[in-house]
Amino acid sequence: PPLARSSRNDFLKEIKIMSRLKDPNIVRLLGVCMRDDPLSMITEYMVNGDLNQFLSRLPSAIGDIFIFFAPHQKLISVPPKLDKLVYMASQIVSGMAYLSSLNFVHRDLATRNCLVGEHHTIKIADFGMSRNLYSGDYYRIQGRAVLPIRWMAWESILLGKFTPASDVWAFGVTLWEMLTLCREQPYGALTDEQVIENTGEFFRDQGRQVSAGTSV
Q: Decide if 200 is inside a domain.
A: yes
Q: Decide if 5 is inside a domain.
A: no
CB 97 within 8 A of CB 105: no
Q: What is the pTM of this model?
A: 0.80
CB 43 within 8 A of CB 30: yes
Residue 190: give the domain boundaries.
46-209
pLDDT of residue 18: 86
Confidence of residue 178 (pLDDT cuts 50, 70, 90): very high
Whichever domain contains 126, its CATH number is 1.10.510.10
Q: Decide if 145 is inside a domain.
A: yes
pLDDT in tens, 120-138: 999 999 865 556 678 889 8
Annotated catalytic, 83? no
Cα–Cα separations (whole angstroms), residue 172 to 82, 151, 154, 195, 211 = 16, 9, 13, 16, 23
Q: Decide if 102 is inside a domain.
A: yes
Catalytic residue of the set 10, 50, 64, 108: 108
Rounded CA separation 126/165 (Å)? 19
Q: Decide if 183 is inside a domain.
A: yes
pLDDT of residue 40: 84
Q: Decide if 12 is inside a domain.
A: no
Rounded CA separation 169/202 (Å)? 13
Q: Decide if 25 is inside a domain.
A: no
Handedness of CA 129, 141, 50, 116 (dihedral sign): positive
User: How many distinct structural domains can be found in the chain?
Assistant: 1
User: Cβ–Cβ contacts within 10 Å for residue 41, how many?
Assistant: 16
Rounded CA separation 175/186 (Å)? 11
Residue 75 has pLDDT above 50, yes or no: no
If you write DSSP's letter for every residue of 38-56 in order, what string do you get?
SPEEEE---TT-BHHHHHH
Higher-pLDDT residue of 120, 203: 120
% residues pLDDT > 90 (the chain): 50
pLDDT of residue 52: 94
Q: Decide if 132 is inside a domain.
A: yes
What integer is the mean pLDDT of 152-164?
92
Residue 69 has pLDDT above 50, yes or no: no
